[in-house]
Structure 1
Amino acid sequence: MTTKLTLTLEGDVILSAKKYARKNGKSLSGIVENYLKTIASATDTDVTLSPKVSRLMGAIKLPEDFDHKKELGNILTQKYK
């Protein structure tokens, strides 16, 4: 069942979102719906960490601007040269 929802957002956010949707061939409603499904399912899952992983959390201090995706890309590039 589809139900109408009214949102109040900043005008520039709406324009950017519409541009993104058009560029990716999607509807803005579909993007919002998928996002809400994603966050709803993420909070529904109860993730339990093993004691080993729990002890490791916070063991490494990284700079605030650390880009883990960039670093992973660099490591994989070196590995598969």
Structure 2
Amino acid sequence: MNTKLTLTIEQAIIEKAKKYAKDKGRSLSDLIENYLKAITKDSGPETIEITPTVKLLKGSFTGPADLDYNKELSKRLSEKYL
């Protein structure tokens, strides 16, 4: 059953999101619904086997001490998709 939802979002973001959805041939509602499904997905802990190559590379890179990973990730994803 579909239910209407009202959101308050900056106008500029709405316009960019609508353009993105149109370029992808999807509706904005569909994109938001799938995003909400992804972040609320119930999944148990996944066990991923690490390959020997990845084990060798682990710890080989050290970033600056003041690096804020989440801030950098958000910045790069915004640049890529917005």
Normalised by the length of structure 2, the TM-score is 0.57
Residue in 2 that maps onto 1:75: none
Residue in 1 that maps onto 2:80: none
Shift of 1:62: 2.8
5+ long unaligned stretches in structure 2? 49-54, 74-82
Q: Over alpha carbons, which structure has the higher Rg? A: 1
5+ long unaligned stretches in structure 1? 51-55, 68-81
Residue in 2 that maps onto 1:26: 26
Normalised by the length of structure 1, the TM-score is 0.58
**1:1-81 pair list within 5 angstroms:** 1-41=1-41, 44-47=42-45, 59=59, 61-63=62-64, 64=67
Query: Distance in 2 between the 1:61 and 1:46 partners?
Result: 30
Coordinate RMSD, CA, aligned: 3.1
Bigger RCO of structures 1 and 2 (CA < 8 A, at least 6 apart) = 2
- Between the two proteins, what is the percent identity of the paired residues? 44
Shift of 1:48: 6.3
Shift of 1:9: 0.2
Shift of 1:32: 0.1
Task: Write the deviation string for residues 22-51 of structure 1: whole angstroms up to 9, x where unpaired.
Answer: 11110000000000000001xx2232669x
